[in-house]
């Protein structure tokens, strides 16, 4: 599987609130960041949670977000970031 995004690509986390087991934290949905690394391909944990095969595998990325974009009241330095690992089906260009 070829990753859709490369290191350095700007991405936005899809907004959504589907029912069931979701690995993507609610607080990061709709936020924009930059791909910090491509972690590889893994079976989809949202499917595995229901005893399914988790296939097809999904590319997992580590995405870096400025803290101030995630938490508007954040009082720390502008350079502070938070990294979140997200599967490709949750990301948009």
Structural domain boundaries in the chain: 10-92
Sorted by sequence, the CB contacts under 8 Å of residue 12 that are 6+ apart come out as: 30, 31, 32, 33, 91, 92, 93
- In this predicted structure, what is the pLDDT of residue 45? 87
CATH of the domain spanning 10-92:
2.30.30.50
Task: Please tell me the predicted confidence (pLDDT) of residue 18.
Answer: 77
**Helix segments in 1-93, DSSP class H:** 45-48, 67-70
Predicted pLDDT of residue 17: 79
Predicted confidence at residue 22, as pLDDT, reads 81
The predicted structure's pLDDT at residue 20:
67
pTM of the model: 0.92
What is the Cα–Cα distance from 14 to 24, expressed in whole angstroms?
10
Which residues of the chain fall below pLDDT 70? 19-21
**pLDDT for res 21:** 67
């Amino acid at each position: 599987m070829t990753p859709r995004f490369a290191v350095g690509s700007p991405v936005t986390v899809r907004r959504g609130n589907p029912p069931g087991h979701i690995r993507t934290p609610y607080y990061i949905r709709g936020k924009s960041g930059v791909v910090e690394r491509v972690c590889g391909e893994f079976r989809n944990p949202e499917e595995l949670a229901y005893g399914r095969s988790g296939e097809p595998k999904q590319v997992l990325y580590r995405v870096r977000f400025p803290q101030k974009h995630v938490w508007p009241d954040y009082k720390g330095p502008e350079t502070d970031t938070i990294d979140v690992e997200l599967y490709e089906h949750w990301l948009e260009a």
